[in-house]
Amino acid sequence: MKKVHFLVLAILVGCGGSLSDEQRKKIREGLDEQKIVRLSDSEIVMSSMERGRSIFETMESRGFVPEAIDSIENQYRVRIKLITPGSDDALEVENQLIEAYVVGAETGSLPDNIQKLGVTDNQEQYDSLVYTKPQVTPLPDGAVKVEGIWNIYLAKKDVVRAISAD
């Protein structure tokens, strides 16, 4: 892909053709996307947590309406899913997360969370992250009941691009 950008640029410059401002902008954007960025794992995870919180706040402000969630998914290039306890279509990691939140409700600890997905033997090798936040209902005795958890799936490459764009 990188070679294609340079080849196109070389052909355009070699032919003596003039580029419009729009064409130059596209070439610059293509080169910027190919730029090598070195980030630590902790920078990626922290940025994912911040991005997940921001997306969740947007969902909350729009009232968790399905149409709004679809719009948010497209806007942020993420996948959003509500998982309820006992859900049949949940992945193993999603079931583990919801079980952890149900147990956490008994102890009163329900923080938001970020998890790496697609992890290999090497902890540095993963392709996406999932931000989770529980949906709870307060009970009369002061405890809370976990109704489900919101999962926001973030592609690692999108997080890295967002960091490098800042």
pLDDT digits (tens, 9 = 90+) for 17-68: 577 788 778 777 776 666 666 778 888 889 999 999 999 999 999 998 989 9
Please indicate whether residue 99 or residue 58 has the higher confidence score (pLDDT). Answer: 58
Task: Report, as an integer, the average pLDDT of 2-31.
Answer: 69
Task: Report, as an integer, the average pLDDT of 82-99.
Answer: 83
20 and 47 housed in the same domain = no
Instruction: Tell me the range of 4-8, 92-96, 103-107 where mean pLDDT is highest.
Output: 92-96
Distance from C-alpha of 46 to C-alpha of 154, rounded to nearest angstrom: 12
64 and 80 housed in the same domain = yes
What are the residues facing 149 on neighbouring strands?
83, 134
In the sheet that 128-138 helps form, which strands lie side by side, from edge to edge?
79-83, 144-155, 128-138, 113-117
Task: Report, as an integer, the average pLDDT of 140-151.
Answer: 84
Distances (CA, A) of 140 to 94, 104, 111: 28, 18, 21
101 and 136 housed in the same domain = yes
73 and 122 housed in the same domain = yes
Which domain covers residue 138, as residue numbers? 41-165
Q: What are phi and psi of 138, to 5 degrees?
A: -70, 140
Strand pairing class (128-138; 144-155): antiparallel
Q: Which amino acid is at 151?
A: N
- DSSP H helical segments within 19-91, as ranges? 21-33, 41-61, 66-76
Beta strands in 12-166 (DSSP E): 79-83, 113-117, 128-138, 144-155
Exposure string over 69-104, b if 16+ CB within 10 A, otherwise e: beebbeebebebbebeeeeeebeeebeebbebbeeb
Q: Would you give the end-to-end CA distance of the chain in angstroms? A: 23
Question: Total domain count for the chain?
Answer: 2
Instruction: Tell me the range of 52-56, 116-120, 125-129, 155-159 where mean pLDDT is highest.
Output: 52-56
103 and 26 housed in the same domain = no
26 and 70 housed in the same domain = no
Please indicate whether residue 138 or residue 76 has the higher confidence score (pLDDT). Answer: 76
Distance from C-alpha of 87 to C-alpha of 77, rounded to nearest angstrom: 25
156 and 123 housed in the same domain = yes
27 and 46 housed in the same domain = no
24 and 97 housed in the same domain = no
